[in-house]
Amino acid sequence: MKKNSLVTKLAALGLSAALGLAGCGGQSGNGGQNSEVSDVAITAEEEALAKELLDRNVTANDVITVGVIESAIAQLKEKYDFEELDDLKIGSGGWVYLSDKYGWFTELLGDNNTKVSIVEGAVGNEVQLMERNELHLMNRMLYPYLLYRAQGGDITAVELSEDPAPGIVTILVAKDSPYETLEDLKGGTIASWKAGCQYVALIEQTIDLGWTEGVDWTYANVSNNDIKTALEAGEVDAISVHPFANINNEIISGNFREIANAKADGVYTNYGGASVTFAPSEFADSHVNLIKAVLKLRQLVNAYIIQNPEETAAVLETITREPAENTIWYNNRSAETFYSASAPLSQLVDDTDNYQNWLIENTEEFTAEGRVDKDTFFNPNFFE
C-alpha cells in the first residue's frame, strides 16, 4: 500500500464557535441530542466538496469544515435508502464521541429511527461481542483483524486505512535506563501485547537485527493495561507500544524515553500497520447502505479531527478526561491512519496477503493451515 504524503490544513472555522459548545449536550450511547450544528451556513464550495466526497475517499488535501460535514450528511440521506435498524452499536473512539456529542449521528440516522450506542471496552473482545449482537462496527489494526479471521471469527472488513508512519509504534525505556538504542537491548527483556500489532512491529525490528527470541532477547507478553506498570516497576527492560495518551504522558513528562520506532519502509509501515473497520459478516451484508453512510461520516470527522487538533482535542478531553495535549500528541503520530486507503482493491488484497505470508513465517499465532483466503479479506460491497 503506497502512502500518499500527509498534508494537513487547518480549517478556518473554530470548533467551539461553529458547534456552540456552551449549549452542546449529547448522551454517550444514545446519539447526540443537540442540533446547533444544523444552523451552520453552508457555502457553495462546501456543498460541492461534500458532493464530490460522496464518491471518493476523503484525503489529507481536502479541507473538511463543519459545513462540509453538514452538507455531506444531508446528501448521504438523499443518496442511500437506509436499511431498518433500531440500534447501531459502534466501538468507542474520537470520531464516535464527537459525532455523538454534536448530533451528527442523529442527523444522519434519526429519520431512520436508528440510534447509535457507543460500546466501551471492546478491545480484545470484539468477536465475542459481535456474536452476541452487542457490537456492529469496530476499528482496530490489521493484525488483530487477521488473527480473529484465522481463528474462525465470522467478521468482514468494510474499510482500510492508509499505512502509518514509523512513530505510531514506539519502543520505550525508563528515563534512568542505560539503554540508548534498540541494539543495546540485546540480552534484555522487551514487553509488548500479542493481541496488538505493536508486537508485530517489535518482531520485525528484532528479525532485522538478526536476533533470535529466547537466545538474543526475551519477549514478555503483557497487556496494554499492565505494560506501563511493568516498565515502571523494572520488571522488563523496555516496552513496544502504541503511544496512546496514557503512555505518551510518560514520554512528555520525561519518565520514559523513546529509543526506537517501527521499522521505516518495512512490512509494518508499508501495509501491516494499517487500521481496519470490521463488522459481523451477516450484519454487513444486510446493512450495506447504512454502513456506507456511517463510514463516510467517519472519514469526514476523522479528517476534521486531524485538521483541527486543538479544538477537537479540547472537546474530547471533556468526554474522555484525557489531556488535550496527549490526544494531539498521539494523533500526530497516527495521522495517516485517519484517512482511508486510496489504492485499488486488488493492491490492498495483494499487500494484505503478503503481510499474512510474513505473519505465517514469523509468528506462532499464524499458520499455513489457518490461512485466510485472500479473496475474503475485504467485503466487496464497501471497496469499489
| 3-class SS letters over the chain | CCCCCCCCCCCCCCHHHHHCHHHCCCCCCCCCCCCHHHHCCCCHHHHHHHHHHCCCCCCCCCCCCHHHHHHHHHHHHHHCCCCCCCEEEEECCHHHHHHHHCCHHHHHHHHHCCEEEEECCCCCCHHHHHHCCCCCEEEEEHHHHHHHHHCCCCEEEEEEECCCCHHHCEEEEECCCCCCCCHHHCCCEEEECCCCCHHHHHHHHHHHCCCCECCCEEEEECCHHHHHHHHHCCCCCEEEECCCHHHHHHHHHCCEEEEEECCCCCHHHHHHCCEEEEEEHHHHHHCHHHHHHHHHHHHHHHHHHHHCHHHHHHHHHHHHCCCHHHHHHHHHHCHHHHCECCCCHHHHHHHHHHHHHHHHHHCCCCCCCCCCCHHHCECHHHCC
Cα dist. 270→39, 351, 355 in Å?
42, 8, 9
- Please indicate, yes or no, whether residues 31 and 137 belong to a single structural domain of this protein: yes
- Please indicate, yes or no, whether residues 23 and 106 belong to a single structural domain of this protein: yes
- Please indicate, yes or no, whether residues 154 and 302 belong to a single structural domain of this protein: yes
Task: Assess if residue 380 is contained within a domain.
Answer: no
What confidence score (pLDDT) does residue 299 get? 98
Cα dist. 321→262, 317, 318 in Å?
28, 5, 6
What confidence score (pLDDT) does residue 149 get? 97
Task: Assess if residue 352 is contained within a domain.
Answer: no
What confidence score (pLDDT) does residue 7 get? 29
- Please indicate, yes or no, whether residues 98 and 23 belong to a single structural domain of this protein: yes
pTM of the model: 0.88
Cell 524515553 -> residue: 257
Task: Assess if residue 136 is contained within a domain.
Answer: yes
CB contact at 8 A, 358 and 201: no
Give me the residues of the chain with pLDDT under 50, please.
Answer: 1-36
> Which three cell numbers mark 299?
472519514
CATH number (domain holding residue 213): 3.40.190.10
Phi, psi of 276 (to 5 degrees): -135, 140
- Please indicate, yes or no, whether residues 46 and 146 belong to a single structural domain of this protein: yes
Which residue range(s) make up the domain with 151?
15-161+275-339
What confidence score (pLDDT) does residue 384 get? 75
What confidence score (pLDDT) does residue 141 get? 93
Number of folded domains in the chain? Answer: 2
Task: Assess if residue 3 is contained within a domain.
Answer: no
**Of 76, 113, 18, 16, nearest to 298 (Cα)?**
76
Task: Assess if residue 367 is contained within a domain.
Answer: no
Final residue of a domain: which of 199, 234, 261? Answer: 261
- Please indicate, yes or no, whether residues 291 and 231 belong to a single structural domain of this protein: no
Cell 456492529 -> residue: 136
Within 10 Å of residue 275's Cβ, how many Cβ atoms?
25
Task: Assess if residue 353 is contained within a domain.
Answer: no
- Please indicate, yes or no, whether residues 208 and 329 belong to a single structural domain of this protein: no
What confidence score (pLDDT) does residue 40 get? 79
CB burial string 102-134: b at 16+ within 10 A, e below:
bbbbbbbbbebebbbbbbeebeeebbebbeeee
Task: Assess if residue 350 is contained within a domain.
Answer: no
- Please indicate, yes or no, whether residues 177 and 307 belong to a single structural domain of this protein: no
What confidence score (pLDDT) does residue 336 get? 97
Task: Assess if residue 154 is contained within a domain.
Answer: yes
Quote the CA–CA distance of 206 and 208 in Å, as a whole number.
5
